[in-house]
């Protein structure tokens, strides 16, 4: 058998994992979700969920991959026995489901990028036609296909030659661009109003609103790419010596900072050009209509900003899509002995087909987004049980082997056993309750 590939460096691993985490979920999802969940209350809850609930799970998911050196489909069986096989399937099915609709939104992003670059931005009276051209007709399929093909090309080039290489040049570029854009957004007349709406709009009741709780949990898992086997796959290529707790902290820190910076770009733009209320209309409305139309009033500067922003979003999405595709691909290689190219072609074609309903209907796309988020939390819950209760020896050995501090390990283990599973359980319960409620009343 061929030796298992490894990341060239621990920085490469971190950048690839951060690349998975930072994506459309941060740039599109985060500001929009925050506006739906009561601004600052959502933000506070989100940060708490990330630091207290998700971080221990992130480390455990990585340990699951590293200690078994296996793909997400096989790792749960290797560490916990046959009984855990369904967990591997949940990982594979959820990643295919997410990539299926994610590629559609990537396609819209690419379309808006090319439109901004070559044709300019839509005027307010052209906004309707602009959206129709974006989200209907053959251009949607073209965008979806282009996005999947690019993703497939990177993944088929392998862990070092494809995924790590892409992350190494794109992540620094992404950070640079996002900082520049947030500085620019700070100079807009509506900047302060935007920050206020996003960061300072305190309404403590929102903290107990089931919808805010559902959004914060869903967004935290989605944004960290957690509970879906990606970190299993990525960590299975990682070095036994690298300190996973520290790396997990850096990855989640970068992800959260990018989410907040994204809000500090979009909120000022929307408040300057369109006013309150606009950001809450819908996911599609805010980012693919309001943003380009708003920026149109700035002439050339607006066009440059739009090109940078949508280009940036596409690259961020690509590094996330690549990680999603790696889950079924590494699983097929591991389970059936296929070669990488076969696995890539098969998985990509299947994902394209699953994404067709989402390409045809925004409503189906939003539903896929909402429901797959529940899978991530279920995956996260199972990781807590498997690593915190069933395979504790392997978990301890792995973390002890990389010399992480005993205090840190004790804290993580305690949280993994007692706090994260209970919190995720409550989060899942509240989320399901919130989702079925409209049907009941
Ligand atoms: N974390 C990515 C984002 O924020 C999306 C993603 C979700 C990627 C789940 C992998 C798994 O856009």
Pocket test of ligand 1: the residue of 223, 260, 322, 327 to mutate, having most ligand atoms within 8 Å of its CB, is 223
Q: Is 329 a residue whose pLDDT tops 90?
A: yes
Ligand 1 atom 11: the closest Cα is on which residue? 225
End-to-end CA distance of the chain: 58
Report the range of poorest mean pLDDT among 191-200, 278-287, 293-302, 373-382: 278-287
Report pLDDT for 403. 78
Pocket test of ligand 1: the residue of 58, 102, 351 to mutate, having most ligand atoms within 8 Å of its CB, is 102
Q: Can you count the helices (H) and strands (E) in the chain?
A: 22, 0
Q: What is the pLDDT of residues 189-234, one digit of tens each?
A: 999 998 988 777 778 888 888 988 999 999 999 999 999 999 999 9
Q: Is 300 a residue whose pLDDT tops 90?
A: yes
Q: Is 336 a residue whose pLDDT tops 70?
A: yes
**Residue the block writes with tokens 């036994």:** 240
Does the reported pTM lie above 0.75? yes
Please report which confidence band the pLDDT of residue 280 belongs to, taking 50, 70 and 90 as the band edges: low
Ligand 1 contacts CB of residue 16 (under 6 A): no
For range 158-184, the mean pLDDT: 94
- How many angstroms is it from 99 CA to the middle of ligand 1? 9
More confidently predicted of 15 and 270: 15
Report pLDDT for 205. 85
- How many angstroms is it from 25 CA to the middle of ligand 1? 6
- How many angstroms is it from 26 CA to the middle of ligand 1? 9
Report pLDDT for 315. 94
Q: Would you tell me how many other CB atoms lie within 10 Å of the CB of residue 196?
A: 14
Q: Where are the domains of the chain?
A: 10-440
Among the listed residues 428, 329, 334, the one whose alpha carbon sits nearest the alpha carbon of residue 374: 428
What stretches of 248-315 adopt beta strand conformation (E)?
none
Contact 195, 21 (CB under 8 A): no
Among the listed residues 376, 357, 375, 373, the one whose alpha carbon sits nearest the alpha carbon of residue 365: 357
Q: Is 272 a residue whose pLDDT tops 50?
A: yes
Describe the crossing of helices 300-336 and 340-360 by its angle, rounded to 10 degrees. Answer: 130
More confidently predicted of 276 and 384: 384
Q: Is 61 a residue whose pLDDT tops 90?
A: yes
Report pLDDT for 35. 79
Ligand 1 contacts CB of residue 14 (under 6 A): no
Among the listed residues 434, 418, 402, 68, the one whose alpha carbon sits nearest the alpha carbon of residue 229: 68
Pocket test of ligand 1: the residue of 46, 251, 323, 380 to mutate, having most ligand atoms within 8 Å of its CB, is 323
DSSP 343-359: HHHHHHHHHHHHHHHHH
Please report which confidence band the pLDDT of residue 275 belongs to, taking 50, 70 and 90 as the band edges: low
Report pLDDT for 325. 98
Report pLDDT for 294. 79
For range 242-247, the mean pLDDT: 94
Report pLDDT for 2. 57
Ligand 1 contacts CB of residue 17 (under 6 A): no
Q: How far apart are CA 362 and CA 228, in angstroms?
A: 24
Report pLDDT for 298. 86
Can you name the CATH fold of 10-440? Answer: Hydantoin permease (1.10.4160)
Report pLDDT for 1. 47
Report the range of poorest mean pLDDT among 284-293, 384-393, 414-423: 284-293
- How many angstroms is it from 138 CA to the middle of ligand 1? 26
- How many angstroms is it from 106 CA to the middle of ligand 1? 12
């Amino acid at each position: 058998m061929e030796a298992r590939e490894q990341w060239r460096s621990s920085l490469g691993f971190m950048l690839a994992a951060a690349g998975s985490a930072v994506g459309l979920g941060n740039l599109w999802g985060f500001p929009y979700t925050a506006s739906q969940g009561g601004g600052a209350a959502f933000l506070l809850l989100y940060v708490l969920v990330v630091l207290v609930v998700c971080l221990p799970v992130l480390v455990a998911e990585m340990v699951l991959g590293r200690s078994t050196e296996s793909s997400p489909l096989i790792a749960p069986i290797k560490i916990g026995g046959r009984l855990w096989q369904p967990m591997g399937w949940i990982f594979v099915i959820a990643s295919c489901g997410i990539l299926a609709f994610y590629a559609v939104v990537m396609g819209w992003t690419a379309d808006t990028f090319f439109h901004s670059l070559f044709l300019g931005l839509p005027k307010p009276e052209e906004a309707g036609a602009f959206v129709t051209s974006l989200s209907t007709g053959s251009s949607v399929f073209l965008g979806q296909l282009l996005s999947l093909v690019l993703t497939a090309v990177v993944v088929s080039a392998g862990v070092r030659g494809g995924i790590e290489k892409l992350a190494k040049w794109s992540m620094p570029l992404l950070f640079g661009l996002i900082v520049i854009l947030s500085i620019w957004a700070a100079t807009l007349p509506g900047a302060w109003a935007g920050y206020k709406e996003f960061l300072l709009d305190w309404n403590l009741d929102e903290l107990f609103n089931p919808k805010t709780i559902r959004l914060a949990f869903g967004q935290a898992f989605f944004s960290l790419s957690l509970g879906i086997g990606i970190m299993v796959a990525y960590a299975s290529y990682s070095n036994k010596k690298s300190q996973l707790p520290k790396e997990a902290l850096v990855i989640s820190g970068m992800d959260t900072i990018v989410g907040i910076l994204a809000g500090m770009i979009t909120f000022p733009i929307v408040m300057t050009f369109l006013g309150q209320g606009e950001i809450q209309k819908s996911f599609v409305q805010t980012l693919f209509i309001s943003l380009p139309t708003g920026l149109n009033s700035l002439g050339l500067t607006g066009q440059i900003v739009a090109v940078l922003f949508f280009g940036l979003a596409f690259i961020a999405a690509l590094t996330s899509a690549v990680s999603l595709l790696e889950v079924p691909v590494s699983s097929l290689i591991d389970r059936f002995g296929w070669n990488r190219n076969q696995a890539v072609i098969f998985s990509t074609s299947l994902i394209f087909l699953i994404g067709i309903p989402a390409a045809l209907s925004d409503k189906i796309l939003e539903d896929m987004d909402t429901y797959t988020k529940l899978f991530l939390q279920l995956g996260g819950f199972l990781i807590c049980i498997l690593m915190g209760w069933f395979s504790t020896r392997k978990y301890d050995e792995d973390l002890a082997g990389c010399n992480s501090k005993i205090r840190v390990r004790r804290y993580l283990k305690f949280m993994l056993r007692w706090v994260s599973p209970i919190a995720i359980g409550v989060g899942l319960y509240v989320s399901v309750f919130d989702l079925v409620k409209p049907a009941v009343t």
